[in-house]
Amino acid sequence: MSVRVVARVRPLLKAEHVNESIVSTASAPGDTEAKPSIIRIPNPKKESEAFSFHFNSVYDQGTTQAEVFDNEVSPTVKHLFKGYDITLFAYGVTGTGKTHTMRGGKSLADRGLIPRLLSSIYRRARRIEKDSAEETQVEVSMSYYEIYNDRVYDLFEAPEKRTPAGLPIRDIGNSKTQVVGLTERPCTTLKEFEQLYDQANVNRSTSATKLNAHSSRSHAILCVKITQTTETETRVSTASAIDLAGSEDNRRTDNNKDRLVESASINKSLFVLAQCVEAISKKQARIPYRESKMTRILSLGQNHGITVMILNLAPVRSYHLDTVSSLNFANRTKKIEVNEIENQPIFRGLSSKGKSDGDKGRSIGDALGIHRQPLRPKNLSQVIHHKDATMNVPKPTKQFSVYSDRPTAAPRALNTANMSQARASALPLKSPKRTSSEAVPTLGRPSKLFRPNEPTVLRAENAEAIAMGKEAIEALIERKVNEALAERADQTTLSNPEPVPEEVQRRLEALEKRMEGQETERAEGLQYLLMAKQHQVRGEDVSALKMFQLAFKHFPENEKLVRKMVALKDRIAAKKAQNRASAAGGVSLSNDTVAEEDTSSAKQSARRRQARVEEDNSYHEDLAHTPAYAEEDDGFVYRPRTRIRRPQTSKRAATAPASEPSIKHSPSPDGDGADSSEHDLVTALVEQTPRTKHLLHIINTKDVSQIKLLRGVGAKKAEAIVNCLIDLDDDAKVTSLGQLGKLKGVGIKTVENMRLGLDRMAV
């Protein structure tokens, strides 16, 4: 079954006027009047036309919290108790009502979907316990965390106590991830839940932005675990409620630096989410889940169970483009198929009655040495239409060996202490290995069978690894990490666990740390890139350069980044030269000339802006998945051609030595103190590569016969370069590619040609 997508239009806020309202709901043929399914919005390019988006349900401005809950969430609760996982998430631009929908206000009527869901869970739990004459016991526990700047933080921990790097996440198999070291709190009553939830929400990162006075700066993920225990079995299922941070157009937010970093991270993860959704809907082989922690955790389309997305929309014109973009995203999301697979119960033993203590809790699987049953593939999954509230499809016969993707809950008595799954408390690991002979043919997937001689297998693999290449060893270790972690998650079902040899364990841990570190580094670098792009779009070249420089530390090998910085630096210098020129010569120009210059500079700046966007996109080849919001929206797809932009070299800069002292004495073409450090950095960066050094050396020989051999130069250009240098000063030296690009008749493309051509020459 597909992800269920419903749209909710929030009411007008105080500052918004009814005339600004542009989003409406409408009924499709077959809809009842009370239950429309279409969102209408004018085409931003042609107001007389309207776009219509069809969803499973849509809710207009007047819809109450109770209505959304009763229609969308309440029907899922019984499936939760039948062993299905449920994922609810709110998606939308900042200030569209996601937090209001998920968490809601304090008054009873305003309470959001989460407290209502919990209330419903407790009610059903009590009923089940009562109806079974207390034979079935239901326990509820919760964990709650946020993903802030692509780091995972436990919301039960006060911000000052957090480790800045956040908690690591692990794949535990079956497309599931686990946050390591997360607190899990039992909550036996609704009141207890609300206390914990409110207390944790205080720790959530929120700030005032121009678009929302209480803007969530993080994605908040609440996981409510339901454990139903009978004499013979334990069934575990989870309801996840995710309040995503809203995407932001920073041209509208006036965000400061901190907010911009947050915003870049929020936008990046949402962009990756959009990419995942697009990749899934196009059935691409690679879904970029791993590009952000949020997408890894959400695992949209990979997660099992019932998934409901609430698309929050603002009704007003100021959100027009954002709203269309969100609608396009949601439109793609609704096509995603989700495997609705119930979590199988874990049998607790034939009967604890009459058994020795030692036998208690030993499952049938344990008795047979079988620990995990893989999930059934999709064609065996049970399809539910939760709105119909029917469960007529007969349940698939349970396999003899049983599966649960959660640890077995402790029988009955709840541990009220922190139930942290901290690494330190991990049991010794064992690493089961599959062979094809152990595969269950009907399921098409191998089962994980316990192998008593595991250490021998590991040692054998280690011996094999010695003969392997580095990559193969890494792959082996990664596989072992995953298997070990999957087993750790299942540790309570293990019997006779075998310790992993110390050496392997040490290497596993080192590798885990390294992988986490690399991920964090890369994420930080991408954030800087994104911010650089945002600055560039706003024409703030100096800030953009600064951000690129920060990003460069994370991608030191990236030549495109270097070129980008050089081009940006040139542009800044050219702009300054232009300003100086117009300040000096503007008075003597006739009105006509001024008008002409205005038009041409407007054209130039439009070209520059266009080129900047193109450059940003060309970048993505190297740094795949850097966000480009212009592409997020199907309706307004921007498909740039990839080409290197020729910098707007100021004629004056190249021809007037008096106003361009940099080539002669200073490394900064601007002679500006604040800027010169940036210039130094760019220069240093550029000069780092031997190829660049060699090129500059050839140029500085001022020897036409040598220079003309450079690719794309020729005798005439070589002569022009030498003349230009001699005109400036006999001792003039070119110290960076940026300066070289500004010489008369050169330009960045020629510089690039020269540099690349050096491969063919003896360096």
Ligand X SMILES: Nc1ncnc2c1ncn2[C@@H]1O[C@H](COP(=O)(O)OP(=O)(O)OP(=O)(O)O)[C@@H](O)[C@H]1O
Question: Annotated binding residues for ATP, as ranges?
Answer: 92-99
**613: closest CA among 589, 639, 581, 584?**
639
Beta carbon of residue 311, minimum distance to ligand X (angstroms, whole number): 11
Beta carbon of residue 299, minimum distance to ligand X (angstroms, whole number): 22
**212: closest CA among 166, 173, 259, 168?**
259
Binding residues: 92-99
Compute the C-alpha angle 550/551/555, nearest 5°: 130
Beta carbon of residue 249, minimum distance to ligand X (angstroms, whole number): 12
Beta carbon of residue 111, minimum distance to ligand X (angstroms, whole number): 12
**Rounded CA separation 113/120 (Å):** 10
Contact 167, 181 (CB under 8 A): yes
CB-based burial label for 383 (10 Å; 0-12, 13-18, 19+): exposed
> Can you point out the beta strands (E) in 112-218?
137-148, 151-154, 169-173, 176-179, 185-186, 206-207, 215-216
Judged by beta carbon, residue 74 or residue 700, the one nearer ligand X is 74
Judged by beta carbon, residue 216 or residue 229, the one nearer ligand X is 216
Judged by beta carbon, residue 95 or residue 166, the one nearer ligand X is 95
Beta carbon of residue 320, minimum distance to ligand X (angstroms, whole number): 17
Beta carbon of residue 32, minimum distance to ligand X (angstroms, whole number): 22
**75: closest CA among 31, 30, 120, 112?**
120
Judged by beta carbon, residue 45 or residue 106, the one nearer ligand X is 106
Judged by beta carbon, residue 269 or residue 408, the one nearer ligand X is 269
Number of helices (H), then strands (E), in the chain:
23, 21
**Rounded CA separation 436/719 (Å):** 71
Beta carbon of residue 469, minimum distance to ligand X (angstroms, whole number): 47
Beta carbon of residue 760, minimum distance to ligand X (angstroms, whole number): 54
Phi, psi of 220 (to 5 degrees): -105, 130
Q: Report the interhelical angle of 74-81 vs 113-131 (nearest 10°).
A: 40
**Rounded CA separation 219/242 (Å):** 7
For 315-338, b where at least 16 C-beta lie within 10 A, e where not — what string? Answer: bbbebbbbbbbbbbbbbbbbebeb
Judged by beta carbon, residue 92 or residue 525, the one nearer ligand X is 92
Beta carbon of residue 502, minimum distance to ligand X (angstroms, whole number): 47
Interface ranges with ligand X (CB under 6 A): 10-11, 13, 92, 94-100, 212, 214-216, 245-246, 312
Instruction: Return the residue matching tokens 């202490």.
Output: 417
Judged by beta carbon, residue 6 or residue 572, the one nearer ligand X is 6
Judged by beta carbon, residue 64 or residue 600, the one nearer ligand X is 64
Give Cα separations from 531 to 261, 265, 517, 551, 566 (angstroms): 7, 9, 21, 10, 18
Q: Two tokens at 239? A: 């309801």
For the chain, the 3-state helix, strand and coil shares in percent, each to the nearest 5, are 45, 15, 40
Q: Two tokens at 29? A: 């043929």
**Rounded CA separation 12/60 (Å):** 11
Instruction: Return the residue matching tokens 């030191």.
Output: 556
Judged by beta carbon, residue 150 or residue 483, the one nearer ligand X is 150
**Dihedral sign of CA atoms 692, 696, 698, 699 in order:** positive
Beta carbon of residue 234, minimum distance to ligand X (angstroms, whole number): 36
**Rounded CA separation 420/759 (Å):** 57
Judged by beta carbon, residue 95 or residue 738, the one nearer ligand X is 95
**Dihedral sign of CA atoms 504, 506, 509, 513 in order:** negative
Give Cα separations from 171 to 148, 175, 290, 407 (angstroms): 20, 7, 10, 15
Beta carbon of residue 93, minimum distance to ligand X (angstroms, whole number): 7
Beta carbon of residue 100, minimum distance to ligand X (angstroms, whole number): 3
